[in-house]
Amino acid sequence: MSVLVNKKSKILVQGITGAQASFHIQRALKYGTNIVAGVAPNKNETSYLGLPLFGTVKEAKEKTGANASIIFVPANYAKSAILEAIQAQLELVVVITSGIPVRDMMEIKHELLNSSTVLIGPNTPGIITPDEAYMGIFPDNIHISGNIGIVSRSSTLTYEVVLEINKIGFGESTVVGLGDDFIIGTSFVEIIKKFNSDKKTKAIVLIGGIGGNYEMEAADFYAKLTKKKPTIALILDDPTPLSDNKGLAPEIICRGIISAADKKRILQEAGMIVVDNINALKSELLKL
């Protein structure tokens, strides 16, 4: 078992003809990912990279039975591509695109309220279930199949964690990158819920980001879970005071300031094991 993505997932690629998309999709195909078609409006070709090419998500879904889509469409056009995927009622949409305007994400997020689509990202490395499939831009040669579920707000730090825990004999059930942007489609809560009921996952690793409200939601949710799998939260210390970080001003104004120290305390109170460096994370995993 795994969460969100597996061998059976039938995946579309929106914006497949771009250079980055082509590069990463070829790697994903080689990995064994069941990518069934590309979507590229205004193209005359009927196939690309050996995959059938359709003009709309709706048509591609009807013809291929796809249930998921990965989006590489440039930021200027990402909103309509994402809304198209949501309106086609795909179960899972992974948005790799970075730099999507805040206002566009506000509209998308409100559209999601009336939909059952799970939107991962934007600005995410994606999701990988080792040895089965991946939707994303992961370095695929670093993952090993195993029983640790990883959910993260930080792309590159996730790679570092995977490399380090694999050195000591662990592997991953699924790795989910939530995305580094301020507004994200899916937060920790939904993924913890899925890992918690996934048979293969024995323990969960949560990797926090800078700024803290998504972690706070996770703490609330985890505290209330009756049967919970051991969860280790990796929270790095802030390099400079958060109040000096101008990018965080909106969050601080709306939700108050949550420093790394606050986050650690609150996640701990919720019942998670909290660490502030990767070596400590490894020791805690070995203790489980």
Partner 1 sequence: MNIHEYQAKKIFKQFGINVPSGLVAYTPTEAKLAAETVSEFGPWVVKAQIQAGSRDVGKFSDKRAGRKGGIRLSKTLDEVFDNADEMLENLLVTNQTGAKGRLVSRVYIEEYIKTIRKFYLGLVVDWVSASTFLLVAPVSDKDDDDIVKLAIESPETILKINLGLQKEIKTEQLAQIVSFMDIQIELSELKTFLNRMLKLFYTYDATLLEINPIGITKSGKIWALDAKIVFDENALYRHPEVRKLSDDSDIEERELIAAKFGFQYKELESGLGIIVNGDGLALNTINQAKDMGINTACFLNLKGGVDRDKISASIKLIMTNPRVDGIFINILGGFSRCNLIADGIITVADDLGLNIPLVARFEGTNKDEATDILKKSGLPLAIAEDTTHGLQLLKEAIAEDL
Residues that bind partner 1 (CB under 8 A): 20, 27, 75-76, 98-110, 125, 137-139, 141-142, 152-160, 163-164, 180, 182-183, 187, 207, 209-210, 213-214, 217, 236-240, 243, 249-257, 276-278
- Smaller CB separation from partner 1, 91 or 140: 140
Per-residue tokens: 68: 């998921």
Instruction: Compute the least distance from the CB of residue 206 to partner 1, in Å.
Output: 13
Q: How many CB atoms lie within 10 A of CB 233?
A: 27
Instruction: Compute the least distance from the CB of residue 1 to partner 1, in Å.
Output: 26
Which string of DSSP letters, residue by residue, matches 125-150? -EEEETTTEEEE---GGG--EEEEEE
Instruction: Compute the least distance from the CB of residue 137 to partner 1, in Å.
Output: 5
Instruction: Compute the least distance from the CB of residue 213 to partner 1, in Å.
Output: 5
Instruction: Compute the least distance from the CB of residue 187 to partner 1, in Å.
Output: 8
- Smaller CB separation from partner 1, 91 or 276: 276
Which stretches of 140-254 are assigned E, i.e. beta strand?
Answer: 145-152, 172-177, 203-207, 231-234
Alpha helices per DSSP H over 40-101: 57-64, 75-87
User: How many Å apart are CA 7 and CA 18, to the nearest integer?
Assistant: 25
Which residue do the tokens 């800078």 mark?
A: 210
Count Cβ atoms within 10 A of the Cβ of residue 145 and give its class: 0-12 exposed, 13-18 middle, 19 or more buried.
Answer: middle
- Smaller CB separation from partner 1, 32 or 101: 101
- Smaller CB separation from partner 1, 49 or 280: 280
CA-to-CA dists, residue 176 to 14, 194, 200, 269, angstroms: 20, 11, 15, 24
Instruction: Compute the least distance from the CB of residue 33 to partner 1, in Å.
Output: 16
- Smaller CB separation from partner 1, 116 or 226: 116
User: How many Å apart are CA 4 and CA 223, to the nearest integer?
Assistant: 23
- Smaller CB separation from partner 1, 108 or 135: 108
Strand 231-234: give its sheet, edge to edge: 133-136, 126-129, 172-177, 145-152, 203-207, 231-234, 273-275
